[in-house]
Amino acid sequence: MKNGSIAILFDRLGPYHWARLQAAARLFGVVAVETCAITREYQWTRIDEPRAFRRVTLFEDVPDGRSLKRGRLRERMANALHEVDPAVAMIPGWATPASLVALEWCLRNQRPAVVMSESNAFDEARYAPAELIKRRVVSLFSAGLAGGQLQKEYLITLGLPRDRVFTGYDVVDNEYFATNAAHVRANQAAFRRELNLPERYFLASARFVEKKNLLTLLRAYASYRELAGRLEGSSPWDLVLLGDGPLLSTLNSQLSTLNLRSHVLLPGFIQYRELPAYYALADAFVHVSVTEQWGLVVNEAMATGLPVIVSNRCGCVPDLVAEGKNGFTFDPASVKRLGQLMVDMSRLSERRLEEMGEESRRIVAGFTPAHFATGAQRASEVAKAAPICRATLLSSLLLKALIHR
């Protein structure tokens, strides 16, 4: 017998998910189901704060859900969902074994499933056979919760009816970032000394992996310093690059090659509680990925009132970046264009930078945990009212093949 709660699944609960779940729990009963308590990809400290939702963890000590034996994963997921007995399951995407075994459980137990997606049509190369398979999988969901415009349109392209797709998936806790940034700015001299941060700087935050395009960022920053150095009365800003990952040594080598060591800081991976200070003391934010489904760091920067320079390959751009108003966009392959935009940004007056920062706050105010909660509620209600997808032999075989691939 269904207990009326909504099961919301994630690979691992991080700060972003926590804020969304807390907001959702104010509107309806929530059970959060996380596959793993730890992951190699993100080094977040485990969150054990008081919460308004129930938390179920399938594996406490396995750092990568993708490496789990499928039979073991299927058993744990089935046991958890049988015990939770949700009215609806909200599932993150269709790419991971955990998402697919959860969808499989929903079909077998006649429970509506909502897909939560930040994929868009251009974030990866698309091939017709793969898209046909994906359409078949997406057809097994009763509704969708997408990040924004591009993500919603992609779900519709994959076959979900427009009136069953809602937005609000890709949000951060704006209030947390804004409040803590204001505190830091009120005491900025002390925080700047404590964190050893320069007076003026561009901020970037990313995992040190290929798609984040950080070598291009460093080359563009070198170009920026050269261009700005030629301008009368111009003092180039420094660059602070947060994060860690397999390209760390490559980035360090590039800093030496470009003679940037005295101008670029690499503080490492910064935990959530410390992040607002780095945003608060920055002058602008730069995100340069060659592909990005969304880009939640852009939300964070905007919530703290920063103007932004964002690659046009980031899925958040249509929703969050108003060209010339709160920031600028660029082709991530163009070192020259990015370098020039950094020059243009650094030469704006303090008043203009503040105006752009205020516009960032205004825009991102439409992307909050409360919007996630409302979108999740609407998607769940529509899913419950829609005909429940039934497990056919074809769908069962397809899911089994994808789970074991």
- The CATH code of the domain that includes 40 is 3.40.50.2000
Give the per-residue pLDDT at 1.
Answer: 42
Query: Do 60 and 208 fall within a single domain?
Result: no
Query: Do 282 and 374 fall within a single domain?
Result: no
Query: Do 167 and 200 fall within a single domain?
Result: no
Instruction: Determine if the pTM surpasses 0.75.
Output: yes
Query: Do 149 and 59 fall within a single domain?
Result: yes
52 domain residue, yes or no: yes
Ranking 18-32, 232-246, 247-261 by mean pLDDT, the lowest is 232-246
**Cβ atoms of residues 168 and 372 within 8 Å:** yes
Query: Do 64 and 117 fall within a single domain?
Result: yes
pLDDT digits (tens, 9 = 90+) for 303-323: 999 999 999 999 999 999 999
- Which structural domain range is residue 239 located in? 174-364
pLDDT digits (tens, 9 = 90+) for 337-371: 999 999 999 999 999 999 999 999 999 999 999 99
Q: pLDDT category, 65, cuts 50, 70, 90?
A: low
57 domain residue, yes or no: yes
In angstroms and rounded to an integer, the radius of gyration of the C-alpha atoms of the chain is: 22
- Residues 10, 15, 21, 25, CA torsion sign: positive
Specify the residue for token string 């509506």.
112
Query: Do 148 and 101 fall within a single domain?
Result: yes
Query: Do 31 and 61 fall within a single domain?
Result: yes
CA distance linking residue 257 with residue 236, whole number of Å: 19
Query: Do 103 and 198 fall within a single domain?
Result: no
Query: What does the buried/exposed string (b/e) look like for 219-247 if buried means 16 or more CB atoms within 10 Å of the residue's CB?
Result: bbbbbbbebbeeeeeeebbbbbbbbebeb
pLDDT digits (tens, 9 = 90+) for 25-62: 999 999 999 999 877 766 777 777 778 999 999 998 87
User: What number is the average pLDDT over the span 386-395?
Assistant: 85
Average pLDDT value for the chain: 94
User: What number is the average pLDDT over the span 132-153?
Assistant: 97
Q: pLDDT category, 3, cuts 50, 70, 90?
A: low
1 domain residue, yes or no: no
Length of the chain: 405
Query: What total of structural domains would you count in the chain?
Result: 2
